[in-house]
Amino acid sequence: MNKKFSLLLRNEGEKILVDKETQIEVEDENGCLKKFSVLKSPVKDKKRNTVSFDFFIQDITEIKKLEFLSFHDSLTGLYNRNFLEEEVKRIESGRFNPVGLIICDLDNLKSINDSLGHKEGDNLLIAFSKILEASFRESDVVARIGGDEFAVLVFRTTEASLEKKVCQMQKACRSNKISVSIGLAISNNSPVIFQSLFAKADEAMYKEKKKKRRQ
Cα–Cα distance for residue pair 91/128, rounded to 1 Å: 26
Residue 193, pLDDT score: 84
Residue 201, pLDDT score: 95
Cα–Cα distance for residue pair 124/103, rounded to 1 Å: 17
Q: Using the predicted structure, report yes or no on whether residue 5 has a pLDDT greater than 70.
A: no
Residue 149, pLDDT score: 96
Residue 30, pLDDT score: 75
Residue 32, pLDDT score: 79
Superfamily of domain 73-214: Reverse transcriptase/Diguanylate cyclase domain (3.30.70.270)
Mean pLDDT of the chain: 87
Highest-confidence segment of 29-33, 57-61, 69-73, 210-214 = 69-73
Q: Which helix (H) or strand (E) holds 27?
A: strand 22-27
CB neighbour burial string for 146-176, b if at least 16 within 10 angstroms, e if fewer = eebbbbbbbbebeeeebeebbeebeebbeee
Q: Using the predicted structure, report yes or no on whether residue 1 has a pLDDT greater than 60.
A: no
More confident residue, 186 or 19: 186
Q: Using the predicted structure, report yes or no on whether residue 8 has a pLDDT greater than 70.
A: no
In this structure, are residues 153 and 194 in contact, taking their beta carbons and an 8 Å threshold?
no
* Residue closest to 81 by CA, chosen among 151, 15, 17, 14: 151
- How far from the centroid of its chain's Cα atoms is residue 203's Cα? 25
pLDDT digits (tens, 9 = 90+) for 159-215: 899 999 999 999 999 999 999 999 999 988 777 788 899 999 999 999 999 888 876
Long-range contacts from 62-65, C-beta under 8 angstroms, 24+ separation = 64/35
Residue 3, pLDDT score: 65
Q: Provide mean pLDDT across the span 118-128.
A: 96
Residue boundaries of the structural domains of the chain: 3-66, 73-214
What DSSP string runs through 118-152? HHHHHHHHHHHHHHHHHHS-TTSEEEE-SSSEEEE
* Residue closest to 151 by CA, chosen among 167, 128, 168, 174: 128
Cα–Cα distance for residue pair 102/185, rounded to 1 Å: 7
pTM of the model: 0.75
Residue 176, pLDDT score: 94
Cα–Cα distance for residue pair 167/74, rounded to 1 Å: 28
Whether the ω angle into residue 42 lies within 30 degrees of 0, i.e. cis, is no
Instruction: Give the list of residues 6+ apart from residue 129 with CB closer than 8 angstroms, or none.
Output: 76, 77, 78, 142, 144, 150
